[in-house]
């Protein structure tokens, strides 16, 4: 299962330009070594231009939902569609959309933990639904959004529900790069799952975003890592049998005693 992660430099506040960038990037990927799954970063249509979100957010996920669905169908690829600002009944959510190769929306997730350091709670509404897994090409997976990474309960719940791969879509600032990298490796080791992340690069309102998008295997080894300052594509492949092997060799899930904690 081949993965291509877009470590994207966003055009702040310009969904149309960002959708065009993604279309061009996907065309390039398909001409090279066509991936099975592509991954986009958090809030990739708008970035964190929060005071403009009322005007730039999608309405009930449109038009980005249709755009990504058409893109998946056209290229017959699975899409982990990062996340978008998404207005529903007057509230703006930070919403991730996942599509299979037929362009079907297989999962939609509203970011639960809003990040105080980027002032998200002043502009966005936190998700109220439980995280769930989804399936792409017969493999069970989960997605969380950026600050969610700091709450290990989410990844653990998804692993217990059968996820073998965890996607983390993000706009993670540079001053906390060591947290970004270490927490992903920790989630991979403790849950014995692949962790695949897409983080943006560039600077907005004095905040520099760190890139360093990762593919970490279930043993905690970094299989691929993006640079910390430029737009690029991170590639790797996932082998679900590796998850089974690691879980067999170190049987953490069988050793749990959840009644005691
Ligand atoms: N976009 C985010 O959720 C950023 C999270 C962050 O900066 C942190 O957890 O640190």
What is the pLDDT, as a whole number, of residue 128?
96
> Ligand 1: which of 115, 178, 199 to mutate, most ligand atoms within 8 Å of CB?
115
Instruction: List, by residue number, the catalytic residues.
Output: 42, 111, 146
The domain limits of the chain are 2-260
**pLDDT tens string 61-110:** 999 999 999 999 999 999 999 999 999 999 999 999 999 999 999 999 99
What is the pLDDT, as a whole number, of residue 219?
98
Quick one: average pLDDT of 100-124? 97
Task: Report d(CA 97, CA 69) in Å as an integer.
Answer: 10
CA of 172 to the centre of ligand 1 (A): 5
CB contact at 8 A, 72 and 114: no
Quick one: average pLDDT of 177-199? 98
Average pLDDT score, the chain:
97
Architecture, CATH, for domain 2-260: 4-Layer Sandwich (3.60)
What is the pLDDT, as a whole number, of residue 229?
85
Q: For the beta carbon of residue 36, count every other beta carbon within 10 angstroms.
A: 17
* pLDDT interval class at 213 (50, 70, 90): very high
Task: Report d(CA 212, CA 199) in Å as an integer.
Answer: 7
CA of 173 to the centre of ligand 1 (A): 7
What is the pLDDT, as a whole number, of residue 100?
98
The three-state DSSP-derived secondary structure of the chain is: CEEEEEECECCCCCHHHHHHHHHHHHHHHHHCCCCCEEECCCCCCCCCCHHHHHHHCEECCECHHHHHHHHHHHHCCEEECCCEEEEECCEEEEEEEEECCCCCEEEEEECCCCCHHHCHHHCCCCCCCCCCCEEECCEEEEEEEHHHHHCHHHHHHHHHCCCCEEEEEECCEHHHHHHHHHHHHHHHHHHCCEEEEEECEEEECCEEEECCCEEECCCCCEEEECCCCCCEEEEEECCHHHHHHHHHHCCHHHHCCHHHC
Q: Is the pLDDT of residue 32 over 90?
A: no
Can you tell me which atom of ligand 1 is nearest the CA of 148?
Answer: 3
**pLDDT tens string 221-235:** 999 999 998 999 999
Can you tell me which atom of ligand 1 is nearest the CA of 115?
Answer: 3
* pLDDT interval class at 59 (50, 70, 90): very high
Q: Rounded to 5 degrees, what angle do the CA atoms 67, 69, 74 make?
A: 95
pTM beyond 0.90: yes
């Amino acid at each position: 299962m081949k993965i291509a992660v877009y470590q994207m430099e966003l055009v702040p506040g310009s969904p149309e330009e960002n959708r065009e960038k993604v279309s061009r990037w996907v065309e390039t990927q398909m001409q090279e070594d066509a991936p099975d799954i592509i991954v986009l970063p958090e809030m990739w249509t708008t970035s964190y231009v929060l005071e403009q979100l009322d005007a730039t957010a999608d309405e009930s996920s449109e038009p980005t939902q249709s755009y990504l669905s058409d893109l998946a169908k056209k290229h017959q690829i699975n899409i982990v569609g990062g996340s978008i600002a998404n207005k529903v009944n007057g509230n703006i959510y930070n919403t991730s959309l996942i599509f299979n190769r037929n362009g079907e929306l297989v999962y939609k997730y509203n970011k639960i933990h809003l990040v105080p350091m980027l002032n998200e709670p002043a502009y966005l509404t936190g998700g109220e639904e439980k995280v769930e897994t989804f399936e792409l090409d017969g493999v069970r997976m989960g997605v969380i959004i950026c600050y969610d990474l700091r709450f290990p309960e989410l990844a653990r719940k998804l692993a217990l529900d059968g996820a073998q791969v965890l996607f983390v879509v993000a706009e993670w600032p540079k001053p906390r790069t060591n947290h970004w990298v270490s927490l992903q490796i920790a989630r991979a080791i403790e849950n014995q799952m692949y962790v695949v992340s897409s983080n943006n690069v560039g600077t907005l309102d004095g905040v520099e975003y760190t890139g360093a998008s990762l593919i970490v295997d279930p043993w905690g080894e970094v299989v691929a890592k993006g640079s910390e300052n430029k737009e690029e594509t991170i590639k790797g492949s996932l082998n679900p049998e590796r998850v089974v092997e690691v879980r067999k060799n170190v049987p953490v899930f069988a050793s749990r005693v959840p009644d005691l904690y």
